[in-house]
Structure 1
Amino acid sequence: MWFAILCLAIGLTIKILHDWRRSSKFPPGPRGLPLVGNIFDVKRLVDETTFYSHAWCRLADTYGPIVGLKLGTAEPLIIVSGRDAVVEMMSRPEFDGRPNGFLFKHRTGGERRGVMFTDGDIWRDQRRFVLRTLKEFGFGKMAMEDIILNDAVSLTSIIESLAKSGPITNLHNITSIAVLNSLWTLIAGSRFDLNKENPKLREILSVLNDLIRNSNVTGGILTHFPLLRYIIPNFTGFTVLNQRLARMSQFFRSEIARHKQTRMHGEFRDFIDVYLAEMEQSSSIISCFDEEQLISVVKDLFSAGVETTNNTIGFIITHLAVRQDVQKKVHEEIERVLGKEVLPRIAYKNRLPYLNATIAEVLRLANVGPTSIPHRAMTDATLLGYEIKKNYTLLANLKSVHMDEKHWGDPKEFRPERFINDRGEYVEDPWLMSFGLGRRKCLGEILAKNSVFLFTACLLQKFQFTLSPEHPDPILDGVEGFTIAPPDICVNAIKRN
């Protein structure tokens, strides 16, 4: 028995030392420690810089555009920084996979489901179906624009009413339901009344916010050491995570059950109806269309559709409340092009270059998604001469591109004029890549861009936003999480005459 234990200990020691050893072609990075790898290195950097994205930029400054990290027992994590490296990584199909780590599967019932964290045939089939179906219900069309505008107008009425009582402290929560409404119309065929309190929806949005704020793109301790969920489930957050995931799944499961009871065969009201019909046609045991997949797809659409768009709008309001000079220029442009009564339309977009430039500058500076969603190497490959083995996780450091001093000149300055040419026209800059690149580019980019433009135009047409004395100097870096949220601030919404 003791001999067996000794052999096991020796074998484990050899494996730990082998995993710790770095080959000459492994990307450079901090040496780390046996077993835990670079966990303490990353923690120290995050403690010093406050944000994971700041830590990635610090590592890039020290080691170069390709940095290799080993975090616990998980596959190595490769941080890719700088435009050239980021463009190459995100354009190559061999890096189009998604990680196989514990948390990425646990969020969808222990298997890879949905569209956000899948790859291969499942991802292709689900993505193709999602895009085709949502387009049939008006995704990116005039009908969608009308839905968004209706929600934007309702939102301005609510803000006007709230502003009568003084500064608004929960603007981010108020805008979230309005932002969700247009997408939820396509997904579930129903709309939320912005003027009525919806406790169930508010709870799910709160759960979503908790999940995102308490996670990061590395996957956290449960991805680095998944066995700890059995040993210290409360300390690792596993218990709370399960509760939150269960509440979200139940919300979507109830919506799907309602659709099953009320749908008419041959008539399709929304995405869920069409998916249920596809499930009936694809009844084979090898089909990837089933109820668990549907729940996961809807969860992905719900999460992505609310979080980044709402955060972007929140950052726009925050930056303009701080920079009254920029807000004044936006007001003057809207006044000149639309006046006070003509509703903003996508057709007017090219006539509002300074508003477009302001939105672009917020996307660049706020970095709501400072990195790509984690990628996975599908095969053994090389990147800028470094060895990237199959199943390595890769993160594109988008912030490093958006804050590149050689390109932008003064990247830390909020200056929308950088997107305006000599003729006063808005000019897109290929260095701005907030929605990603390549085949894994955000599939909701059009809806997100249209929503941000229309909501922002409507809000600024009606209000001037100023900081309340309670928050005279907000920290514009925002709040850390899987994505970056705007800071909690208190604003005055002053109706424009």
Structure 2
Amino acid sequence: MLGRPEFDGRPHGFLYKHRSGGERRGILFTDGDVWRDQRRFVLKTLKEFGFGKMAMEDIILNDAVSLTSIIESLAKLGPITNLHNLTSIAVLNSLWTLVAGSRFDLDEENPKLKEILSILNDLIRNSNVSGGILNYLPLLRYIIPNVTGFTVLNQRLTRMSQFFRSEIARHKQTRTQGEFRDFIDVYLAEMEQSSSNISCFDEEQIINVVKDLFSAGVETTNNTIGFIITYLAVRQDVQEKVHEEIDRVLGKEVLPCITYKNRLPYLNATIAEVLRLANVGPTSIPHRAMTDAILLGYEIKKNYTLLANLRSVHMDEKHWGDPKEFRPERFINDRGEYVEDPWLISFGLGRRKCLGETLARKSLFLFTACLLQKFQFTLSPEHSNPILDGIDGFTIAPPDICVNAIKRKCLLG
């Protein structure tokens, strides 16, 4: 299903339009020519600014190092309860540098950013991939707006749009004709060139494209890092093996970088096992049949909604043997090398697979390596038995935990 273009559509449901001002805009929930044009433009432009290149690695690494310094300072005060908030800003920074040409200082309080990240978290925690009841009975928004959550949803969506609208306005005021600082500058120039009525490059589009990049860029990667820390805090034996490998390959002072990736097979296997077991995105975003079709013998009518159950693949007993067990060794071969398994499809498949997979994989590797090079994570007594199923929503978030970050002394460094 994921590989067939006739299933590449997105549903027409009420909420998918309402989230972007009454029309389907952006990248995540559009299809057809609009989606193709926007996606092509986004990928091309971000690549020109270093997306997926060495420059990107340096940006991520800089944020990972800053994060370890902040955690070190906080750890002196006792157990850390807000690790999820700290990592979200650090994860966002690399993408936001390309998109908006600015960075958020991890050391400084940024009330506006914290508010937007909080709103984003609330939106995702209080929604699901089916769209919820308002998607199927939108009339209820007039009858019981508070009970259906429509009132609060509107407030959150409005505040999110205001944040991105102000960022676009700032770029308009400060940009120089012919000079491009970031993705927004290039998009504004494209809007000027594509001023015809039929163009899909306009102000409402850029607001929703940037919002999609912001949302997708921080949510899943940050949740996965949270799950990595949680699983390793629970499984000290696995964390000890990762520490041993990092100490042997990197030592105490050498910063992790992508060139060391193949020399850290157990770290790669641990990240892969968390991706498999945590299932941050347990299903695909809804697909829509663009035409009548047959799928595995079933008659699929045009406009039917389809969901790919990625979790069922990751938990398939016939393939994995013991899918409920947290066992990174399943990704290690007899020669001690990391081996990718085609049944691990956390980023989806086909043309609608995750746009930011390259950035996400680099971020997961570099952040995890930096954090585990410097710290041993243990659970504080009040969170000694976290529920590893996570917290439900549009994506699955790691459980709220309180961790001790103990600074490590590398024995081999």
TM-score (norm 2): 0.99
User: What CA deviation, in whole Å up to 9, does each residue of 1:267-318 have, x standing for no partner?
Assistant: 0000000000000000000000000000000000000000000000000000
Among 206, 214, 223, the residue aligned to 1:302: 214
User: How much does 1:474 deviate?
Assistant: 0.2
Q: What is the match of residue 331 of structure 2?
A: 419
Among 160, 164, 171, the residue aligned to 1:252: 164
Q: What is the match of residue 451 of structure 1?
A: 363
Amino acid paired to 2:118: S
Q: What is the match of residue 187 of structure 2?
A: 275
1:122 aligns with 2:31: no
Q: What is the match of residue 164 of structure 1?
A: 76
Q: Please give the alpha-carbon distance, in whole angstroms, between the structure 1 residues aligned to 2:367 and 2:177.
A: 36
After TM superposition, list the pairs within 5 Å mapping 1:313-328 onto structure 2. 313-328=225-240
User: How much does 1:377 deviate?
Assistant: 0.2
Q: Please give the alpha-carbon distance, in whole angstroms, between the structure 2 residues aligned to 1:280 and 1:312.
A: 39
Q: Please give the alpha-carbon distance, in whole angstroms, between the structure 1 residues aligned to 2:305 and 2:143.
A: 26
User: What CA deviation, in whole Å up to 9, does each residue of 1:222-260 have, x standing for no partner?
Assistant: 012111111111111111100000000000000000000
Amino acid paired to 2:276: R
Q: Please give the alpha-carbon distance, in whole angstroms, between the structure 2 residues aligned to 1:360 and 1:99.
A: 31
Q: Please give the alpha-carbon distance, in whole angstroms, between the structure 1 residues aligned to 2:329 and 2:264.
A: 13
Q: Please give the alpha-carbon distance, in whole angstroms, between the structure 2 residues aligned to 1:236 and 1:478.
A: 24
Amino acid paired to 1:239: T
Among 88, 91, 100, the residue aligned to 1:179: 91
Task: Count matched residues.
Answer: 409
Q: Please give the alpha-carbon distance, in whole angstroms, between the structure 1 residues aligned to 2:137 and 2:209.
A: 27
Among 348, 351, 354, the residue aligned to 1:439: 351
* Identity among equivalent pairs (%): 89
Q: Please give the alpha-carbon distance, in whole angstroms, between the structure 1 residues aligned to 2:188 and 2:35.
A: 18
1:192 aligns with 2:104: yes
Q: Please give the alpha-carbon distance, in whole angstroms, between the structure 2 residues aligned to 1:387 and 1:315.
A: 39
State the SS of the aligned residue for 2:102. coil
State the SS of the aligned residue for 1:91. coil
Q: What is the match of residue 307 of structure 2?
A: 395
Q: Please give the alpha-carbon distance, in whole angstroms, between the structure 2 residues aligned to 1:470 and 1:256.
A: 44
Q: What is the match of residue 20 of structure 1?
A: none
User: How much does 1:427 deviate?
Assistant: 0.2
State the SS of the aligned residue for 2:308. strand
User: How much does 1:358 deviate?
Assistant: 0.1
Q: Please give the alpha-carbon distance, in whole angstroms, between the structure 1 residues aligned to 2:172 and 2:338.
A: 47
Q: Please give the alpha-carbon distance, in whole angstroms, between the structure 2 residues aligned to 1:442 and 1:217.
A: 15
User: How much does 1:385 deviate?
Assistant: 1.1
Q: What is the match of residue 110 of structure 1?
A: 22
1:131 aligns with 2:43: yes
User: How much does 1:383 deviate?
Assistant: 1.0
1:466 aligns with 2:378: yes
Gaps of at least 5 residues in structure 1 are 1-88
Q: What is the match of residue 282 of structure 2?
A: 370
Amino acid paired to 1:180: L
State the SS of the aligned residue for 1:396. coil
Q: Please give the alpha-carbon distance, in whole angstroms, between the structure 1 residues aligned to 2:177 and 2:288.
A: 40
Greater Rg by CA: 1
Q: Please give the alpha-carbon distance, in whole angstroms, between the structure 1 residues aligned to 2:136 and 2:401.
A: 35
Q: What is the root-mean-square deviation of aligned Cα atoms in Å?
A: 0.4
After TM superposition, list the pairs within 5 Å mapping 1:469-484 onto structure 2. 469-484=381-396
Amino acid paired to 2:296: L
State the SS of the aligned residue for 1:494. strand
User: How much does 1:382 deviate?
Assistant: 1.2
Q: Please give the alpha-carbon distance, in whole angstroms, between the structure 1 residues aligned to 2:88 and 2:351.
A: 28
User: How much does 1:386 deviate?
Assistant: 1.0
Q: What is the match of residue 98 of structure 1?
A: 10
Q: What is the match of residue 60 of structure 2?
A: 148
TM-score (norm 1): 0.82
User: How much does 1:470 deviate?
Assistant: 1.1
Q: Please give the alpha-carbon distance, in whole angstroms, between the structure 2 residues aligned to 1:411 and 1:113.
A: 38
After TM superposition, list the pairs within 5 Å mapping 1:39-58 onto structure 2. none
State the SS of the aligned residue for 1:440. coil
Q: Please give the alpha-carbon distance, in whole angstroms, between the structure 1 residues aligned to 2:19 and 2:158.
A: 9
Amino acid paired to 2:354: C
